[in-house]
Amino acid sequence: MLVRETHLSTSQLIMPYFIQEGHGVKDEIPSMPGQFRFSIDQFLFELEEIEELGLGHILLFGIPGEKDAQATQAYHSNGIVQRTVREVKKRFSKLTVITDVCLCEYMSHGHCGVVKGEQVANDETLALLQKTALSHAESGADLVAPSDMMDGRIGAIRTYLDQHGYSELPILSYAAKYASSFYGPFREAAGSAPEFGDRKSYQMDSANVQEALREIELDLKEGADLIMVKPALAYLDVIRAAKDKFSIPLLAYNVSGEYAMVKAGASLGYFDECRAVTEILTSIVRAGARAVLTYHAKDVARWAKEPLGSKSIHT
């Protein structure tokens, strides 16, 4: 321990959650064993466990009851995320609540923006993202995390939040977000797979590192307070390059497909889950991430509480 170069601690982990309408709902997501879609009432029970395990940070995704072509539920004051944040902050005031700001879960066609013909209209989308971020802020979110990848979104959201009295609210930008096959299980969980086309016009090509650094630079100029690289595992070099170039807090998102892969392999007995997860998360931190968004967070916190010699993340 004394000379170890990299330390993984539960305080660096952020647990993502999917919240949906209804009552008494806790449905396991088939491609993400151990992950659930919760209704708000069930989610509050889940948070009691999270608090007991010592996890302090969550990221929220909403699954609305209705979707339309303007993503109305994304910025409605009584939308699923807005209500969830209010309930959570009432009861768990110390928990850091981050909200994902994107429209794809709320759009009937599953794209991240307003669609004109078969194109995503950047500037019209910005106006809706501004409203979405503000509605999250008004509900009590501690950080907003735009994941849509429209041009100019960080600046637009920053200006809008400032104008409405939220100049102190930090923005965590999904600055380097690649068009990735590893989002597959998420799209099943959130019902957000695009009906036509793909996200390649607004997410990055996996072959590019310099482009990621340019995207990050732009987001920082526009006012991002924290930046993220996503996915993590196939992009460790991007995390390292970003860490070396920028001094701002850097996060990485260990996404749904990365989680699903580990779960599948471990359930077949191909490797030990705890050791594999520890190795993967350590590599992401070693590459330069200060914090990691990961569906494994709860398991890691549980393992860390087990006595040394069994499944401890410290072994």
Catalytic site positions: 177, 230
CB 272 within 8 A of CB 295: no
CB 61 within 8 A of CB 190: yes
Closest CA to 197 of 113, 73, 129, 122: 113
For strand 143-146 and strand 119-120, is the pairing parallel, antiparallel, or unpaired?
unpaired
- H or E element that contains 143: strand 143-146
In the complex with ligand PBG, the residue whose CB is nearer, 29 or 250, is 29
Q: How far is the CB of 219 from ligand PBG (least distance, A)?
A: 16
**Taking the mean position of all CA atoms in its chain, how far away is CA 198?**
20
Q: How far is the CB of 165 from ligand PBG (least distance, A)?
A: 27
Helices and strands in the chain, H and E counts: 11, 12
206: three-class secondary structure by DSSP: coil
Q: How far is the CB of 57 from ligand PBG (least distance, A)?
A: 16
User: Could you give the C-alpha distances from 115 to 119, 201, 216, in angstroms and in order?
Assistant: 5, 12, 26
Q: How far is the CB of 104 from ligand PBG (least distance, A)?
A: 5
User: Could you give the C-alpha distances from 215 to 4, 149, 173, 202, in angstroms and in order?
Assistant: 33, 10, 10, 12
Closest CA to 71 of 84, 58, 62, 60: 62
Q: How far is the CB of 187 from ligand PBG (least distance, A)?
A: 5
For strand 32-39 and strand 26-29, is the pairing parallel, antiparallel, or unpaired?
antiparallel
Which residues contribute to the site for ligand PBG (CB under 6 A)? Answer: 100, 102, 104, 112, 147, 183, 186-187, 255-256
The identity of residue 259, as a single letter, is: Y
